[in-house]
C-alpha cells in the first residue's frame, strides 16, 4: 500500500476536470504536489498547495524540463498522474493531418516522454523504499474504439498498449504503471475539442467518484483500472 503522506506527485493536466479533482484528493491525503498545465494563470487559479510549472506537452524539451523541476521540489519524485488530453470529433475521412498529429502528441507521445524522463527519479524513489508510479488515463475508448472518435480512440489505445508493455519492463525497477479507463465522465473535455463538435452525449460518470476510485487504485497498489472498475454502485 502506498503512503501518500510525504510523497511528491506530479499532476500533469492539473487544470482539467479530472486532473483538478485528482490533485485535490491527493493533496487532502497528504501528498506534496507539483501541478502542471499549459496555462500558468489557470494553474494559479486552482488554489491548491504545491509547486506550479507551466509546460507545453507537445515540446519534448519542455517535458524534460517539467520532470527535472518536479524532481527538485522536495528532492524526490514518487508519482506522476497524466491527466492531460485532447479530443477531436468527426468522421475519420475528414480528419486533418494537424488534428491527428496533435491528438497523438498530447495523448500518446507526451506520456511516453514523461515516463522516459522520469525513469531515474522514479527508480530512485523505489530504491529508497517508496512505491513510485505513473498513472495514465486511456479511457474506455481504448477498450472500445468509437465511431466519429477514430483518431482519438487510436491515440488512447496506443497509450494503453504502451503502458501495458512498459509496466512489465519496469516492474524490476519497482516502478508501477497504472492505466485507468473510465467511461464518459462529466468534465468539460467534450466542450472544447480541437476539431469537430461533440454529439449529444448521455449523462456521464461523477468526476469526484471517478477520481476517488483512481486515488484508491494508486494507494492500493493496483496496476489496471478497466472501465468496469468505474461502474456506478
pLDDT bracket for residue 233 (50, 70, 90)? low
**Residue 213 backbone zone (phi > 0: left; psi -120 to 50: alpha; other: beta):** alpha
Other beta carbons less than 10 A from residue 58's beta carbon: 16
Round to whole Å and give the CA distance between 2 and 181: 21
Instruction: Write down the pLDDT at residue 2.
Output: 84
CB-based contacts of 87: which residues, under 8 Å, 6+ apart? Answer: 103, 149, 152, 189, 190, 193, 194
* CA 40, 42, 45, 51 torsion-angle sign: negative
Across 74-88, average pLDDT:
98
**Tell me: the pLDDT tens digits for 8-28?**
999 999 999 999 999 999 999
In the three-class reduction of DSSP (H, G, I as helix; E, B as strand; rest coil), residue 10 is classed as strand
Instruction: Write down the pLDDT at residue 138.
Output: 98
CA distances from 172 to 51, 109, 127, 136, 167 (A): 30, 24, 11, 20, 10
**Tell me: the pLDDT tens digits for 88-112?**
999 999 999 999 999 999 999 999 9
Q: Domain coordinates of the chain in residue numbers?
A: 8-230
> Treating both helix axes as pointing N-terminal to C-terminal, what angle do 150-170 and 97-104 enclose, rounded to 10 degrees?
30
Share of the chain above pLDDT 70, in %: 100
Instruction: Write down the pLDDT at residue 100.
Output: 98
pLDDT of 80 over the 60 cut: yes
Q: Which CATH class is domain 8-230?
A: alpha beta
pTM (global) more than 0.75: yes
Sequence-ordered alpha helix ranges (H) in the chain: 17-28, 40-44, 60-73, 97-104, 110-127, 150-170, 207-219
**Tell me: the pLDDT tens digits for 176-229?**
999 999 999 999 899 999 999 998 888 999 999 999 999 999 999 999 999 999
**Residue 53 backbone zone (phi > 0: left; psi -120 to 50: alpha; other: beta):** beta
CA distances from 16 to 2, 24, 162, 218 (A): 25, 12, 23, 19
CA neighbor of 218 nearest in space, from 80, 126, 14: 80
pLDDT of 147 over the 80 cut: yes
What mean pLDDT is reported for the chain?
96
In the three-class reduction of DSSP (H, G, I as helix; E, B as strand; rest coil), residue 119 is classed as helix
pLDDT bracket for residue 71 (50, 70, 90)? very high
Amino acid at each position: 500500500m502506498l503512503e501518500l503522506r510525504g510523497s511528491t506527485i506530479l499532476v500533469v493536466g492539473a487544470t482539467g476536470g479530472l486532473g483538478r479533482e485528482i490533485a485535490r484528493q491527493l493533496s487532502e491525503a497528504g501528498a506534496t504536489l507539483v501541478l502542471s498545465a499549459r496555462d500558468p494563470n489557470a494553474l494559479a487559479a486552482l488554489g491548491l498547495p504545491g509547486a506550479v510549472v507551466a509546460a507545453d506537452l507537445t515540446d519534448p524539451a519542455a517535458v524534460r524540463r517539467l520532470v527535472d523541476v518536479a524532481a527538485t521540489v522536495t528532492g524526490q519524485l514518487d508519482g506522476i498522474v497524466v491527466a492531460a488530453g485532447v479530443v477531436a470529433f468527426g468522421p475519420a475521412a475528414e480528419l486533418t493531418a494537424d488534428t491527428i498529429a496533435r491528438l497523438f502528441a498530447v495523448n500518446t507521445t507526451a506520456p511516453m516522454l514523461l515516463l522516459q524522463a522520469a525513469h531515474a527519479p522514479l527508480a530512485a524513489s523505489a530504491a529508497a523504499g517508496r512505491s513510485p508510479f505513473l498513472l495514465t488515463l486511456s479511457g474506455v475508448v481504448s477498450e472500445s474504439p468509437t465511431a466519429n472518435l477514430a483518431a482519438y480512440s487510436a491515440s488512447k489505445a496506443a497509450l494503453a498498449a504502451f503502458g501495458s508493455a512498459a509496466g512489465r519492463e519496469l516492474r524490476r525497477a519497482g516502478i508501477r504503471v497504472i492505466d485507468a479507463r473510465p467511461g464518459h465522465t462529466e468534465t468539460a473535455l467534450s466542450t472544447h475539442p480541437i476539431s469537430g463538435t461533440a454529439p449529444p452525449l448521455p449523462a456521464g460518470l461523477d468526476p469526484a467518484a471517478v477520481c476517488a476510485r483512481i486515488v484508491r487504485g494508486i494507494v492500493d497498489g493496483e496496476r489496471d483500472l478497466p472501465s468496469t472498475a468505474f461502474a456506478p454502485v
